[in-house]
Amino acid sequence: MFFSRLKEMECVAGNVIKPKKIYEIIFPHCVCNLHTLGYIHSDCICECSRQSIIYVIKSLNPDIEIQVDKLSTVLNGDHECRFCITII
C-alpha cells in the first residue's frame, strides 16, 4: 500500500488512519526549496505541497476522488508538516 510504504523513505512518512478512507502524509521537516533557500517563511507556500499530494494520488489512480487537508506545518511553528487525505 502506498501510504504504509512511505515510512521507508527518509523525508516523508505515511499513516493509514482508516483503511480505504483516511490517510496521513507527514514531513518531519520542511523540504520546500523556497523556504530552505530563505525566500519564503509563510505556510501559505504549503498549498504547493497539498496540491502535489493531490497530483501524485490522482496520477496513481485517476478515478479516485479525494480531499487533502493541511493539518500542521513547520512554517506555522508546528513540529512537523501533516496532511490528511480523505477518499470521498
- Which residue, chain included where needed, has cell 512518512? 13
Query: How does DSSP classify residue 79?
Result: S
Contact between 49 and 27 under an 8 Å Cβ cutoff? The reply is: yes
| Under 8 Å between Cβ of 2 and 25 | no
- pLDDT tens per residue, range 5-43: 777 777 888 889 999 999 999 999 888 889 989 998 999
Please state the φ and ψ torsions of residue 56, each to the nearest 5 degrees: -65, -45
Indicate whether this model's pTM tops 0.85. Answer: yes
